[in-house]
């Protein structure tokens, strides 16, 4: 029996290798990421564990992963712009480089001193977004680092703030709802969003407070990189733990936390904006969330 089991394991490994799918783990800004624009506004510690992004009147800046991925778990610790951050946008997101992009967004919308940050999430599939949800963070994200994560597998996409799931997007392709299935890179940036980010664009950036600095640290990516047939990225072997049946939905504690966050802190959900969609909400709005 042990011999048979060993042979089966070897066959599974061989299939994954032939498929061109492999697991990567990234944790160093200097090795796993490149600066996408304005390197003079990016500061990275020699050990590659901390990176600051600055925004001033001349430019914002950003960085992205060297690899693109097809499923996995993606986390970043972020400390947001302190004091008066109105008009600034700090982002952490996944996106393709194609015209009909898939994209999964964390966008942190700054505000005047004393007001809570707004976190906006969005999901694009085949170039179509318009799936914004916004909530007020229940802590001051400028005082310390907090972990923002995305779980993406064949069953669901889950956005986490620390250990709290704040949003899900389930795979309802069998019901006609599109689901992200293309390789995406991991991106981060800070930029001038004063035309829309705070009070619908009414509150502008106070440049006297520049430079505005957001800090990132401890990137943690465990994900599938494709080099050939992508089917290996949906394997349920232990190496691809994020595809396991145990992660096909939120567990009971996560469901309680999800309901708590949305009951007390959610202040916009596209699935409740009937007028925006002429009273014909997107199909996923009426389907199960977990």
Active site residues: 103, 107
Torsion angles phi and psi, residue 238, rounded to 5: -55, -30
What does the block give as tokens for 183? 């390789």
- The string of DSSP codes covering 5-36 is HHHHHHHHHHHHHHHTEEEEEE--HHHHEEEE
Contact 170, 289 (CB under 8 A): yes
Residue 63 exposed, middle or buried by CB count within 10 Å (0-12, 13-18, 19+)? buried
Is-cis flag, bond preceding 211, omega within 30?
yes
The Cα–Cα gap between 191 and 52 comes to 13
């Amino acid at each position: 029996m042990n011999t048979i089991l060993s042979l089966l394991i070897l066959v599974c490994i061989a299939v994954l290798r032939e498929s061109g799918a492999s697991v990567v783990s990234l944790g160093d800004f200097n090795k796993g990421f490149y600066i996408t624009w304005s390197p003079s506004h990016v500061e990275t510690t020699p050990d590659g564990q901390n990176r600051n992004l600055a925004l001033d009147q001349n430019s914002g800046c950003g960085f992205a992963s060297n690899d693109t991925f097809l499923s996995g778990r993606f986390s970043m610790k972020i400390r947001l712009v302190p004091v008066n951050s109105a008009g600034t946008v700090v982002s952490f997101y996944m996106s393709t480089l194609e015209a009909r992009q898939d994209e999964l967004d964390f966008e942190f919308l700054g505000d005047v001193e004393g007001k809570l940050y707004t976190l906006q999430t969005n999901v694009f599939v085949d170039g179509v977004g318009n799936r914004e949800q916004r909530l007020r963070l229940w802590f001051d994200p400028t005082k310390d680092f907090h972990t923002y994560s995305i779980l993406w597998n064949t069953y669901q996409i889950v956005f986490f703030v620390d250990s709290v799931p704040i949003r899900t997007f389930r795979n309802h392709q069998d019901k006609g709802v599109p689901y992200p299935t293309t390789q995406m890179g991991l991106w981060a940036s800070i930029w001038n969003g004063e035309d829309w980010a705070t009070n619908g664009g009414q509150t502008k950036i106070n440049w006297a407070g520049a430079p505005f600095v957001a800090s990132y640290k401890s990137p943690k990516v465990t994900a599938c990189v494709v080099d050939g047939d992508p089917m290996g990225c949906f394997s349920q072997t232990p190496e691809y733990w994020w595809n396991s049946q145990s992660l096909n939905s939120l567990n009971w504690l996560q469901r309680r936390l999800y309901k708590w966050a949305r009951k007390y802190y959610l202040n916009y959900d596209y699935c409740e904006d009937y007028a925006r969609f002429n009273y014909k909400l997107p199909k996923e709005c009426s389907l199960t969330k977990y």
